[in-house]
Homo-oligomer: A and B are copies of this chain.
Amino acid sequence: MRILVTGGAGMIGRKLAERLARDGALGGTPITALELVDVVPPEVPAGGGFPVGWQAVDVAAPGTAAALVEARPDVVFHLAAMVSGGAEADLAGGYRVNLDGTRALLEAIRVMDGYVPRVVFASSIAVFGAPFPDVIPDDFHLTPLTSYGAQKAIGELLLTDLSRRGLLDGVAIRLPTICVRPGRPNAAASGFFSNIIREPLAGRETVLPVSEDVRHPLASPRAAVDYLLRAATLDAARLGDRRALTMPGLSVRVAEQIEALRELAGDRAVALIRREHDPVIAGIVAGWPRAFATERAAELGFRGESTFAEILAVHVQDELGGIVPAVR
């Protein structure tokens, strides 16, 4: 089985590549080749018993997508995207990467004869926008309030239409906010969900810009990779003509996150969280979803974490070598 991953240098792309290298197979079929693509050079994971290639190219550039699928990968993970804040700041750039790039990739597949790969498209809960019901059902309308969300919704529509026509075999999964994101704090409005865990565990102060009552759906990076793998191997006949699935996310209050951190690492860790209300971030977050009823995903076997302690444990195992640091 040949696999192509766009956005292979991103956080999820890197973890997906590592997992594929570790597993050596996808859905029981041995992997024979993995190609990682991004605008910056992706890291090649160690230990895969199969050749791993990489390219630093722009999927939206003319001819690039056609070259990428020429080798007819059986599964295409399309993760490449300009992030939410970036696509909001750079309107033309966001449409180019997130809409034109996606369309170019799907179009390159469409025009090939007898080639119908599984295409897993990383969508986002940003396809939904306030006002929301308290728990958002699977059949809630697409009302994005960011250009990123609009572009992801358009990607879902393209993927679904071409799948209905049998020209590719697409599954779009709407990822909730990923927590705990490894690496340095970033400028994303959602950054604090991860910062308030990762930074104290590293002995560093961090800022909580919103109320502890904020509730939001979260899933670990490991869960996100599990979702991608399941989307790559599920029986698409079970999806009918609705190829987009909202993924499970643990609907958790910030206060619960903090209590789980206290359980794990003690009061000293929690003391590193400085409350500093930021009306801009609080305003953005007020428009975000609090919870989803992800019944379709559950029926199809997608499982997220059920406590925040589980999400914390994933972070400790996958990022901290399994050792809970002593915070002084």
Contacts and interface: CB of A to CB of B under 8 A. Distances in A.
Interface string A156-175: 01101100110000000000
Given A150-B161, A154-B154, A160-B150, A139 B142 contact: no
Contacts of A145: 164, 241
Given A129-B241, A165-B91, A150 B144 contact: no
Interface in A84-113: 91, 110
Interface in A63-94: 91
Contact of A153 (B138, B157, B165, B242): B157
A143 B240 CA distance: 11
A110 B91 CA distance: 10
With most chain B CB atoms within 10 A of its CB, the pick from A143, A165, A242 is: A143
Given A129-B241, A154-B154, A241-B129, A161 B140 contact: no
A194 interface: no
With most chain B CB atoms within 10 A of its CB, the pick from A144, A150, A157, A242 is: A157
Contacts of A165: 91, 147
Nearest to A143: B242
A143 B239 CA distance: 12
A147 B129 contact: no
Given A91-B165, A153-B157, A157-B153, A141 B144 contact: no
A91 B161 CA distance: 10
B158 A150 contact: yes
**Interface footprint category on A:** 20 to 34
A94 B153 CA distance: 19
A264 B143 CA distance: 44
Nearest to A160: B150
Contact of A143 (B129, B143, B241): B241
Interface in A127-155: 129, 138-145, 147, 150, 153-154
A139 B141 CA distance: 5
A161 B144 contact: yes
A31 B202 CA distance: 67
A142 B164 contact: no
Contacts of A138: 141
Contacts of A129: 241
A235 B8 CA distance: 46
Given A129-B241, A154-B154, A241-B129, A161 B147 contact: yes
Interface of A: 91, 110, 129, 138-145, 147, 150, 153-154, 157-158, 160-161, 164-165, 241-242
**Shortest 5 CB-CB contacts between residues of A and residues of B:** A150-B161, A150-B157, A139-B141, A142-B142, A154-B154
22 contacts: A91-B110, A138-B141, A139-B140, A139-B141, A140-B141, A141-B141, A141-B142, A142-B142, A142-B157, A143-B160, A143-B241, A143-B242, A144-B160, A145-B164, A147-B165, A150-B158, A150-B160, A150-B161, A153-B157, A154-B154, A154-B157, A154-B158
